[in-house]
Amino acid sequence: MRILTWNIRGLGSKLKVSAVNKIIRDNKVEMAFLQETKKESFSEQEVGRLWFDDDFEFQFAKATGRSGGVLTIWDKKKFEAEKSLVASRYVIISGKWVDDNCYFTFINIYAPCEKLGKQLLWDEIVTLRSSWQYPWIMGGDFNAIRARKERKGSGVKYPGIEDFNSFIEKCKLLEIPLCGRNFT
């Protein structure tokens, strides 16, 4: 299972679209979680420029003005979607991973920066968690950290650490080590 999650900070330029396509193609990505697309809509043609072939499906949550936007794309030979839910800050897709004959729920998130907005989102997702029966795989930009050491060189206090860790615990999530580029 090859999943890419990337805050792309806008999909408005041909150069960005080309870069996304290259990473998806070169890494044989089977599902992509893109956040902060800054787009209010996507056509099949536009998403096709991001993907490496014509065998894909997608769901998106539109951006509001010039912020936000979430796009989830998957190889429909690898994943058969059964159920989906799109909200302003996330896309949830549930179905069968074909190669392993296993069922999963995938959730792509772009959390707000402000503490209250994050808390409302965490509460909503915790509530949803119980109504989706398959194991969850979650990715995205949470605009949160789990520990102070994740933000090197900053003396700023991060009051949301406890809330974010509580959210992870309530959803019964395990952190999978990231590979590739560093993150902040």
Q: What angle, 0 to 180 degrees and rounded to 10, lies between the N-to-C axes of helices 115-129 and 161-170?
A: 10
With vertex at residue 143, the alpha carbon angle to CA 137 and CA 146, rounded to the nearest 5 degrees, is 75
In a domain, 114, yes or no: yes
In a domain, 179, yes or no: no
β strands within 17-132, DSSP E: 31-35, 56-61, 70-75, 79-87, 90-97, 102-110
- How long, in residues, is the chain? 184
In a domain, 178, yes or no: no
| pLDDT value, residue 184 | 39
Assign residue 126 the CATH number of its domain. Answer: 3.60.10.10
Give the strands of the sheet with 136-141, arranged side by side.
79-87, 90-97, 102-110, 136-141
Residue 148 backbone dihedrals phi, psi, to 5 degrees: -60, -30
In a domain, 183, yes or no: no
For residue 184, give the amino acid letter: T
With vertex at residue 87, the alpha carbon angle to CA 21 and CA 91, rounded to the nearest 5 degrees, is 35
| pLDDT value, residue 181 | 59
| pLDDT value, residue 38 | 95
Low-confidence ranges of the chain (pLDDT < 50): 183-184
In a domain, 64, yes or no: yes
Domain that holds residue 145: 3-170
> How far is Cα 144 from Cα 122, in angstroms, rounded to an integer?
11
User: In total, how many domains does the chain have?
Assistant: 1
4, containing H or E segment: strand 3-7
> How far is Cα 63 from Cα 175, in angstroms, rounded to an integer?
27
DSSP per position, 62-93: --BTTB--EEEEEETTTEEEEEEEEETTEEEE
In a domain, 176, yes or no: no
- Tokens for 109? 């998130």
| pLDDT value, residue 175 | 82
In a domain, 78, yes or no: yes
In a domain, 90, yes or no: yes
